[in-house]
Every structure is written in C-alpha cells, then in structure tokens.
Structure 1
Amino acid sequence: MSTPNPHPDNFDWTAAEADVAEVVDLDAARTRRAGAESATHFEVALDETPTRGGMPVDAPPVGPSGRRPIVPANWSTWPNIRHSLKQAAELTAYRAGFHALRSPWYALLASFWAVVGLFRLIGRQLTWWWVTEQYGLRQAAADANDPQMWLKLHREVKATRAWRAVVLVAELLAVAIGGPVLYAAAPLWAFALVVAGAVILLAHLGRPEDRRIITPATVAGRFRRVNPDIILRAYYAAGLGHPDKPHQQISFGSTMARDASGTGSQVSIDLPYGKTFDDAVKARGAVASGLDVAVSQVFITRDPSSHRRHVLWVADRDPLAQGAGRTPLLRCKPTDIWQPAPFGLDERGNKVAVDLMWNSILIGAQPRQGKTFAARALALYAALDPYVKLTVLDGGGKPDWRKFSLVADRYAFGLAMTRDGDPAEIALEALREIKADVQDRYERLSKLPVDICPEGKLTREIARDPQYRMPVRLVVLDEFQEYFDLGDISKEIASLLVYLVKVAPAAGVGFVDATQRPSGVGGGQVATQFISFRDNHQVRFSLRTGSWNVSDLVLGAGANSEGYDSSSLLPSYKGVGILRGASDATPTVRTYLADADDAEKILIAARKLREEAGTLSGMAAGEDVAREIRDVLADVRSVIEHGETGAQWDEIATRLAARLPEAYADVTAESISAQVRSFGVRSVDVKRAGKALKGAKADDIDAAIGRRKAA
C-alpha cells in the first residue's frame, strides 16, 4: 500500500511511528484483558513498529528450512548478474541524464542559498561570540538579588567573549590570507574543489528544510505497514468481532506473508462463529478504512473449507490503476482456437486466458468502459486462427468492427441499409445458416467411426480437415439487444439465438456477445427470449455497471452475495472488469489493449494467414452470399388444405414447422400472424371442431397474393 511521495526525505516518520505505537499500546492493553480466552494473535508478542521505507511485512524465507540463500538470487547466476548489472547501469544512466539536464538550475539555486548561508553563518558566529545563551542565567541572578553570582557570571562571560574573539579573528585572517594564497599557488582544480565545497556547505546552511536544491530522479513509495495487529484493529472496527467478548475474537488460519507476486500481503482469516464470508464482503469498505488503504486495494476471497474463513489480500498499490499493456496478438503469429485466448492480467499481475471452445461469453458494461474492446480482443484471437469461421454482427454499427470484413465469413454492421443489403436480413440469414449447420454437424458426428470421433464430439483433427466440413465457428454479437428490438423479424432472430446459445457451443460454435443493456427489451415473448439468451452464457465478464443489480444480470444471480459487484469499479478503470465462470477463481481483469490501428494490423495479418491456408470464405472472399427470402404468403397458403376455407394461426404454425422446418422450425402462432397481417390479411375467427379461434381465410390470402402481383 503506497502513495506517491514527492519528498520522501521530508516525511515525518517520527510522528508516523508514534501513531502506530499508540495503536500497538492499545492492542497490548486489549491483549492483557483478553488473557488466554482465545487462540488469537493477542497471545504472542506484537510486531515491531514500522521503520522508514519498510514493506508491509518482511519477505518470507525462500526455502522450507527457513534459510535465506547466502548469495542473493539476483547475483547467484551469470544471467541474473548480467540482468542486475544492466538494471543498475540503466538506472545510473537515467539519473545521470536527469541531473545533468538540471545542473545549471542546481548551480543557480546553490549560489543563491550559499549567499543566504553566508549571512546565516556570520549571524551564528556573532551569536556564538557574544555568549547569548548566558543571558538567562545573569537575568535570573539579578532577579534573585544575588550580586555575587551575577558578578561571577559577568567575569566568565567577559573571559569567554575575549577568547572567542581571538578565535573569530583567527578565522577571519585565515580566510583573508589563505584565500588569495590558495588562488595564487594552488592548481585550478584544487581551488575549484574548495570553492565548490564551500558553496555546498553554505547552501546547506542557507536552504530551508522544505526546499530541496536537487530534485530526486526517482520517487520512493511510502508504504503503510500492515501487520496482524492492524488487521485485527480493522476487523474489530468493522464490527466483525469483539476483542473482549468470549468467542468473538478474530483468529488467523495462516501467518501473514507476502504473496508470490510480491505486490501485496495476504493472510487467512477465521471469523467468529456465526459470522460468514458474506459479512466480510459487506464490510470490505470498513475493513479498508481500518487498514487505512483504498478499498480497491483490499480483496477478500472465499475459502472452500469453511464459510467463516476467507483469505484477505492487501495490495501495496491500487492494482487496477495500471493498464495491462498492448495485446500480445500484435506479434501477428497464428493462434489456435483450441488453446485459451490471452485476455489480460488479474489484480496480482497474473496472466488471464479465456477458453473460446465449448463456451459462450457474455460481456456487459456501461457505455465507454471498454466492452467492445474486450469482445474485439477475443475475436482478434479467433481471427488469427485461419481455421476458424467468423460471423460478426454489430447491432450498434460502430467503426470498431468494420475491419473484420477482411476475414469474416458473414458480417453485418448497424441496422441501416448498406450495399450488402439489409443488415437485419443478413443477420437473420446468417443465424439460419448456422442453425442448419449445427443440426447437420450433430447428425454427421453421430455417424463417424469411433476411431475418428471417439466421444461423438468435434475434435481438433476433424475441425481442421476440410473433408468433414466442420470448422470451428465463432459468432460475435455486439450490442445484441438491438436484434431483439426490430419488430416482427426479432421474433425469429430471438428464437434462433436462444436455440444456438444453448445447443451450438457443444458443436464447436462459440459465442462472444456484448451488450450495454443486460436488463432486456420491451415485453412479451421476445423479452422472455432475451432473458433466456442472456442467462445461457457460461462465461461472464462485467466491466463497470451502474448498480449491483445490473452487475448481477451480467455476472449471474448471486454474484453480489459472493462479493463480486462491478458497480464498485471506479469510472477511471477502463477495460477493467470481473471475470466469472472462466475458471474456479473470479479475478478482476485488466484487459489487454488493442486499439483500432492494432486491430487493423492484426486483421490484415489474419487475412494473409487465411489466404495461405485457403480458408478465406464468404463475404470476406467477395462471395455474394445467397440469402433465402421466404414467400410467407405462399407458404401459408400452401398449408391450408384443399377444401378448407381457412386455418387457425396455431394450425398454420404447426403445419409450417412440420413441412418446412428449415425455415419455420421455431415459428409461433403470434409470429406467423404478425407476418401475414403485415400484407393486409385480416385476422378473423375460424371455426374448427365447433371452436372459433383467430386465423386467416384462404380467400384473403389469395387476394393479398393477387395485389402483390398486380403491384
């Protein structure tokens, strides 16, 4: 835990140590009262008070024997020695350049303060000569009416002044005579050295304590010491226990130690019986206050062995304030979708990767928090695998996805009409094609020999062998809520998306879906399907949201009760979010950065890889992808039997699904009714088995077909 300290040498460490000593004394008093009531840290000696420059805790021994190595690790081998020397040389060169540039200013300041120091030195010498410190004694003798003591002091001060006057005259003669002699006889370098030393000495005397002449080239961190006693203070202040009440003491399940990354301190905490992990999560802010650090430096992790036990990790600095850096995909090397995609760094600086195979990934956040960048980072990884078939559908129409036209088999940007056609129709047809492909895959996989497909699942060998026609596919939808709010066409799109997100991942078709409105759209069946689509994602990534309720919609129900709330992330954290479901842990991830220029460079390289592998297809290859536009009126008319005057909507939907499943497998009475009525066909009562329900008359459908032909 540190804060930038521009003047580390002027920090009042004495006052800081006094503050800590006061806390230690308070804890010591509690220790004496607690006695042997509980097996807590109170029964052992308190940690020593912090020292200047001290880390939160001492570094633990390296080996299990408790022995530190005789030769430090950074000097133990020749590569380590070279690295250490290189670091030292770089730091020395940096400091030399920093101070060399500022040396004229240093000289000017030193000269100014040297003049001030000269007058201060003269003043101090005169004060020393006059023996002003004895004035108080003589005044006290006069006040006590003690003439003998006064005369004695007066004689002593006269003798002292005479002796000190001789010393001052000698000093003056030495300067007056020695200076010209040194100037005339000594080498120039010796004279310059003496003058420089005098200027430095006088400048030191003249400079105020809070005014530095030489600015530090590097700024040292100032760490707030965290030891078990301060942790106890924080937990008791947060109301998670009481030091004086039986069975209400906090205890430790492990020793306080630095974590492996060297960026913080961690310890296992056992709460009193009756207190739970949820209580600790809710008190996280109070614990941070008790530790005197920012809440973003405190992380509480569940311990699976007990609901009252958890691991507390306190970072030295805010681990989320620093970006993760540029994406490693900028190497533009081929990737493998069967391996996890690099995503970013967690709060401890560990690399975080996400499996795209067999998963569907939901990304949600407020606008301008890095949602699209996070989704695009995963899509770029898939793009660099030339054997992955990409479908990119952006309901928002932002520029972020346009360059994916270089590699995507199908793409649609926005909702406005383009040269490629209606984006909504393109999206619908793409989803229809993917559904048909998924159904075909399952059928063909079930027929493959066991030696080729041992578990009836897609394998890397099958996916990369063109004879099987089953490449891994990735569907990317940004601002997917827009596809649920397009009127009648949304009903089929919603139905297809729900089907695919449930069924397609197991067939090697992954999803990366992003939205800024995870709460849903409108009402009715489409709204229900939106919720079903949103809730069927296995992996969730939530950047900053407006409230814990929205955070739970993205991360999944119960995330807040487990301590995961993306609304607590600071607005300044761009590209930072909570990743849930990708592994047993739920880290807070700083995603790698790939801006528009980076993405373009990666996609150009990805297109070359696909051209070399012969896998560039679809719209990226310039193909005019056929889009099957169904004649709804003709299809409905075809399912009204000869001799029937009409049919009810339920009957029409059932017959269409049975006879034309490739186009109407998920059609409902409401959706087909809306589509037919849009052509001017009335919805009227149709009797069947003595029961009248809404439907369509054959004559009305024929009239609508006739009007369309006449037009």
Structure 2
Amino acid sequence: MSDNPTPGPDGFDWSAAEYDLADQPDAAVVDLDTARARRAAAEPGGTHFEVALDAEPQRGGDPVDPPPAATGGRIPIVPVGWNTWPNIKHSAKQAAAIGAYRLGFHALRSPWYALLAAFWSIVGAFRLLGRQIKWWWVSEQYGLRQAAADANDPAMWLKLHREVKATRMWRGIVLLAGLLTLLIGGPILYATAPTWALLASAAGVVAFLAHIGRPDDRPIITPATVAGRFRRINPDIILRAYYAAGLGHPDRSHQQVAFGSTMARDRSGTGSQVSIDLPYGKTFDDAVKARGAIASGLDVAISQVFITRDATSHRRHTLWVADRDPLSVGVGSTPLLRCKPTDIWQPAPFGLDERGNKVEILLMWISIMIAAQPRQGKTWAARLLGLYAALDPYVKITVFDGGGKPDWRKFALIADRCAFGLAMTRDGDPAEIVLEALREIKADVQDRYERLSKLPVDVCPEGKLTREIARDPKYKMPVRMVILDEFQEYFDLGDISKEIAALLVYLVKVAPAAGVIFVDATQRPSGVGTGQVAQQFISFRDNHQVRFSLRTGSWQVSDLALGSGAYSEGFDSSTLLPSYKGVGILRGATDATPTVRTFFADGDDAEKILIAARGLREQTGTLTGMAAGEDVARISRDVLADVRSMFERGENGLQWEDLAERLAGRLPEHYADITAESISAQVRAFGVRSVDVKRGGRALKGAKVDDIDAAIDRRKAA
C-alpha cells in the first residue's frame, strides 16, 4: 500500500490508517507508522474545550480490554514491527524517513530560530538581571516587615531588619564574586579557548537566556509533528454524566452507579475506558438509549462515546470515550488488492470498527442489505463484498444494477449473468434478463434441496451444502452470490415487477440456506410500488438477516434500514455526519452492532481485482455464462410470461403480428420461427380472448394486457 493519502469520493481520506495484515496469509510488510502520528497529522489546530488538556496521555493498566487473540492469551514477546527481517527493515526505513523529515524541517527554519533566540536572549538577560537584584534585595521579606510595622511590633521589625541586612550582605558578596569571575575569566577564556569552544559556550549562553526571556506560550522551535490533545475523563465526570442521563441517583439507596474496573487508557492510546455497573434494574439497553445524554454529561461529541455489552451481566457494560472522533479517519485500501484467492467459507474483510478492530462478515448462509442516502458509499460497500466473492473462483456471481452506474460494469469480466440499468441493450431488456435469471436461480435452489436430501450421510452429513460439495464440479452446486444494487427499481417496472417481486421474496427467504448469498443495496428502504408489489418489497426488505446502514435522512428511515427496533436500542444511522463516507452501522452479523469504516477500493482497484479474479476462474475452469461469452439459454419456455413481457409501459394491447415480431427479436432461442397465427393459438389455449387491437388507424386481432394478466393469475391460483 502507498504511504501517500488516497482521497476517496467527496475528498474523504480513506488511507489515513492501515489494515493490519500481520495475521493474514502472505501478508505484506506491516506498516508501523504510529496511529498517533497519523491522527496528529489530521488533527485540526485548537480545541473547543476551555479546560486544561493533557499534552501527553498516561497509559493505564488496560483492565477492561479484551484478552489478546494470540494462542494462550499471550502477547508476542517481540513486537510485530521487529519480528521478521522484512518488518525490521521496514521499521528502520520508517524511523529514518521521519528523522530525515524532522532534520530538513528544522534545517530550513534554523535562520529564523537563530534570530528569535538572539532577540529573546536580550530579553532574558534583562530578566535574569532583574531576578538577581530581587534575590539580592530580599524583596520577599518586605511584606513581613510591613506586617510588623502595622502591628506596632518594633522588636519583630528590628529582628527582621537585622536579618535582611545580613542576608543582603552575604548575597551581595556572592553576586560580586560571580561578577568578578565573569569579568576576569571571560577575557582569559576568549584569549585561550579554541573557536569551537567559544561558539559552543556562546550558543549555550544564548539558548539559556532565550529560554528565560521567551514567553511560555511562544516556543522558539516549532515542532515538526504535533502530539494530539484530549480531554481527560475521570470517575467524577463519568458519575456526573450517568446521573445527569437518569441512569441512577447519588443519594438514593441502591441507585448509585459503580465502577467494575479502574479508569485507564486503552491499548491503542486513543481513548479512555472503564467498566460501569448500573444500579439494579437498569440495563445495558438503557445505557445505549442514553448515549447522547452521557456524551452531553461528559461534554464530548456523541461520536466519541461507545458502549459495549458485558457478557457477565446485563447491567454492566464497558464505556469507551475516544480522545477525538474516530469515525472521521479512514482505514485505508482493501487487503483484497493483493489479488490472492479467497474462500467464501471464510469471513470477508469489511473494515474497522470505531476502536480500530477488524470487522469481518461471514457471507455464507446470509443475505445482507445495504442502505443509505446517495453518495455515502453504499455501492462501494456492496462492491467490497462482491470483490471478495469474485476472488473465490468457485463462486458463481450474478450482478444486477438497477441504477446503471459505472461502478458495477467491470463485473462483466466474471459474472455469470449481469445487467446494468433499465434501458434496452444489445444483450436484451435488462428487466427481462433479471426476471429470467431469477427464474433460473429459483429452479436451481429447488433442485439443490431435492438433490441434497438424497445424498448419503457421509457426503452430506446434515443435509446441507458443504464446502466439499460446493467445490466438486460433479455435484454442480457452487456457492452463488446475487448482487442487486438499487433493487427498488425492479419493484417499479409495472406488471413485470409482480413476478420479479415474487421471485425475490421467495429467494431471500429460501435461497441462503441452499448456498445462494444475496447482497442487496438501496437508497429507498422505505419502499416503492403499490398494492401487492409494495407489500412484497417490505417482505423482501425485512427478510435480510444482516443490515448495514450508512447515513440516512431520519431515524425512521434508519429503523427501516437496520431493522425494526434498532432505534429503540440506540442505533440510528441518521446521526452519522455527512462527511462520513463509507461509514455505517452493521447489525445482525455478530452479537455486537459496531460502527464500521469500510475499506477503500475505487474503480481502478476494482478493475485490478476483477482482472485477477477472471484469471483465477480461467485457471480453474469456472468462468461461465456471459463472462465466458456463452449465450445464456433459458431452461424452459413460459409463453404467458414471455408474451406479458413484450408489453411496454402504457400499452393496453398488442396485435398478434407485433407479438410474434417482438418475441422473435427478443427471445430468438425459443421464438425464432414464431408466426402471428402460432402465437395466437398458443396464447388462446390459456383462455385468452383474441380481440380487435387498433394500431396505426387499423384494427387487427390481438390480445389485451388485462386478459394476459388474468390468465397468469388463474394459473397461479390453480
């Protein structure tokens, strides 16, 4: 990865932090630039706090940090940065680089430093002279003598007067001796000492006097790097915040908030944490709901306060208060840029949470919905999961983008089926491609369940798909991923949306258990369409087990995106700032609900990964469908559905000649030789009337769209 910042969409810096590859196979050299330096570089000057801030945080004992993940709970004896020769070289290179940077920074400014030092040394000389005169004159005793005079105590006044005269005499002798030494020894030193010693002495004297002369808030040497500043959170402030939030009362019996650990800095040095015991009857859910009030009581932004569940008690939780907003710093490029083969049966790297912990999603057996306002990183988040699946050559991928954006176009390199937008293309009508693909997937899912139930126990122990079965070509049951971006568009296409909606609802409910993963993204989680299609949209949306919501417009939309009850549990994606690109709340993937900063992969990154993914599929012989240049033939012909799909929006009827022409042109694999008489006979066999349809001023026999819909409804009810 490059050390240079990589601005993402809308200027968001995704590369301000790095993904830790130390525990990954074939990992690149770990980037050991300290997180503090990166945060400091991005930290704006000044602070809104009017209290003293700690310049150098003191680390605590980390009493509530999770145990180390290493085997046996042991922290490595040798730090990661120095455990291998490549890492040692990389660490030494980084240390040399920052040393050279600081040297150049100060070398350029050295003339200015010398000028400032000379000026403040003159001020320092006068200040030093004034201090020596005050020390000689014992000016601090003046108040005592004045108090004795005011009290009319001549004995005490005379005693103090004698003491001050003796002290002045002794101090005067000391100052005179020092002055004589300077007057006599100075010329001798000047005449006998070498030049370098004189220069060193002069520099030392000037530096000493400049240190005395300059104001405390005006350093002469400007630091090349700036240390972060943060508000120290102490137990008293925490208690104040919790009581102000209504989570207890300091004066009522059994209503006091207690601490389950001491307050300490976390391992990353980016915040303070402590374990909190709420009063009996108060729960973790109460604390999550009161997060905003707790942030107000702590006098920090809500984006700096994070509450984590404790597995031992429902009234205990861990409070972590970040020194600064952790969500404003990106996490860098995706580790998928190594272009190494992945395994869909292993978790996919998705990003980092608010505390810098890796967030991974196990994609098997789930469907995930990603929702957000436009231009918040929704499509890029979905694409990350698609890229991970693409690098597993045994995953068959289907990509449909209702918006027709360029973000998904390169997936044509590996997709079994794909369609972009809703406008007619040389591949056909995208809506029809989607419909036919969903029909094929439904048939495949039903066939899988039947075949899995018949496999012997030693091959299929639990009657469900296994990694061995999915990767064995003889079973023809590879893991599939279906990606639908802007899926709301497919619910608003008129009559064709009825069947698409029905298929999507069926598949999102049934297909994941057969090894078909759904990754669906939308900017309209509230729904589209009317009547039955609108109800099916809601059913489709609500049957996603995992939700990822980037910024939304209101808490109501956030609750629809994250699932019912998310807002009451304290999770609201509408509170995310507009500047948080690629940041969202992940719910349902694990017991925790982290706020995730997704990894960065722009269009060029995606193309690089997809080219590598195509190469992997060509090597394993798993490149299929459109990506392989195949004409994707339909497994069965549905005359009624095909005829219904020929009607454009607003058309109430079509003449048989027009129907035959459209069928032959759009579905030549089944209707290349169809005639008006032939299609008329086939359709009328389903009880559809042949009626007069006007076109171009003349009426010829044809079919009405209402009659076709009625025949389809009769067939479904049968």
Provide, for residues 397-439 of structure 1, a one-character-per-residue CA deviation record: whole Å limited to 9, x for no partner: 1121111111111111122233333222222222222222222
**Paired residue for 2:512?**
505
CA deviation after TM superposition for structure 1 residue 469, in Å: 2.0
**Paired residue for 1:336?**
343
1:214 counterpart letter in structure 2: I
Q: Do the aligned partners of residues 628 and 706 (structure 1) sit closer, same or farther apart at CA in structure 2, a change above 3 Å counting?
A: farther
**Paired residue for 2:287?**
280
Contact 2:59 2:269 in 1 (8 A): no
Of 600, 612, 630, the match for 1:605: 612
Provide, for residues 580-621 of structure 1, a one-character-per-residue CA deviation record: whole Å limited to 9, x for no partner: 111222222221111112111111111111111111122212
Deviating more after overlay: 506-515 vs 239-248: 239-248
**Paired residue for 2:380?**
373
**For 1:292 and 1:238, how far apart are their aligned partners in 2?**
12
**For 1:259 and 1:159, how far apart are their aligned partners in 2?**
58
Provide, for residues 91-112 of structure 1, a one-character-per-residue CA deviation record: whole Å limited to 9, x for no partner: 7666545434433332232122
Of 631, 635, 654, the match for 1:679: 654
**For 1:548 and 1:281, how far apart are their aligned partners in 2?**
15
Provide, for residues 196-224 of structure 1, a one-character-per-residue CA deviation record: whole Å limited to 9, x for no partner: 01110121122112100122344334454
Of 478, 481, 484, the match for 2:488: 481
1:526 matched to 2:525 = no
Unaligned runs of 5+ in 1: 18-50, 65-71, 636-655, 657-662, 682-694
- TM-score normalised by L of structure 1: 0.74
Of 439, 446, 461, the match for 1:439: 446
Contact 2:655 2:701 in 1 (8 A): no
CA deviation after TM superposition for structure 1 residue 568, in Å: 2.2
1:491 matched to 2:498 = yes
**For 1:294 and 1:419, how far apart are their aligned partners in 2?**
53
Secondary structure of residue in 2 paired with 1:378: helix
CA deviation after TM superposition for structure 1 residue 334, in Å: 0.6
Contact 2:647 2:653 in 1 (8 A): no
Q: How many residues align?
A: 620
CA deviation after TM superposition for structure 1 residue 135, in Å: 8.3
Q: Do the aligned partners of residues 305 and 124 (structure 1) sit closer, same or farther apart at CA in structure 2, a change above 3 Å counting?
A: closer
Q: Do the aligned partners of residues 124 and 581 (structure 1) sit closer, same or farther apart at CA in structure 2, a change above 3 Å counting?
A: closer
Q: Do the aligned partners of residues 439 and 129 (structure 1) sit closer, same or farther apart at CA in structure 2, a change above 3 Å counting?
A: closer
**For 2:64 and 2:417, how far apart are their aligned partners in 1?**
57
**For 1:62 and 1:420, how far apart are their aligned partners in 2?**
55
Provide, for residues 646-695 of structure 1, a one-character-per-residue CA deviation record: whole Å limited to 9, x for no partner: xxxxxxxxxx8xxxxxx79xx99xx99999944379xxxxxxxxxxxxx9
1:411 counterpart letter in structure 2: C
**For 2:521 and 2:329, how far apart are their aligned partners in 1?**
24
Unaligned runs of 5+ in 2: 1-35, 68-74, 657-685, 704-718
Identity of aligned residues (%): 74
**For 1:446 and 1:192, how far apart are their aligned partners in 2?**
91
**For 1:201 and 1:534, how far apart are their aligned partners in 2?**
71
2:495 counterpart letter in structure 1: D
**For 1:577 and 1:203, how far apart are their aligned partners in 2?**
52
Contact 1:55 1:225 in 2 (8 A): no
Alignment of 1:427-576 (within 5 A): 427-576=434-583
Q: Do the aligned partners of residues 458 and 151 (structure 1) sit closer, same or farther apart at CA in structure 2, a change above 3 Å counting?
A: closer
**For 1:193 and 1:437, how far apart are their aligned partners in 2?**
85
Of 597, 609, 629, the match for 1:622: 629
**Paired residue for 1:684?**
none
**Paired residue for 2:392?**
385
2:531 counterpart letter in structure 1: G
Secondary structure of residue in 1 paired with 2:623: coil
Q: Do the aligned partners of residues 5 and 118 (structure 1) sit closer, same or farther apart at CA in structure 2, a change above 3 Å counting?
A: farther
Alignment of 1:149-548 (within 5 A): 178-253=185-260, 264-303=271-310, 307-548=314-555
CA deviation after TM superposition for structure 1 residue 446, in Å: 3.1
Q: Do the aligned partners of residues 384 and 275 (structure 1) sit closer, same or farther apart at CA in structure 2, a change above 3 Å counting?
A: same
Contact 1:477 1:512 in 2 (8 A): yes
1:700 matched to 2:691 = yes
Secondary structure of residue in 1 paired with 2:691: helix
CA deviation after TM superposition for structure 1 residue 364, in Å: 0.8
1:583 matched to 2:590 = yes
Secondary structure of residue in 2 paired with 1:247: coil
1:357 counterpart letter in structure 2: M
Secondary structure of residue in 1 paired with 2:321: strand
Secondary structure of residue in 2 paired with 1:313: strand
Q: Do the aligned partners of residues 498 and 676 (structure 1) sit closer, same or farther apart at CA in structure 2, a change above 3 Å counting?
A: farther
Contact 1:552 1:559 in 2 (8 A): yes
Q: Do the aligned partners of residues 379 and 697 (structure 1) sit closer, same or farther apart at CA in structure 2, a change above 3 Å counting?
A: closer
**For 2:693 and 2:546, how far apart are their aligned partners in 1?**
50
**For 2:66 and 2:590, how far apart are their aligned partners in 1?**
30
**For 1:356 and 1:184, how far apart are their aligned partners in 2?**
83
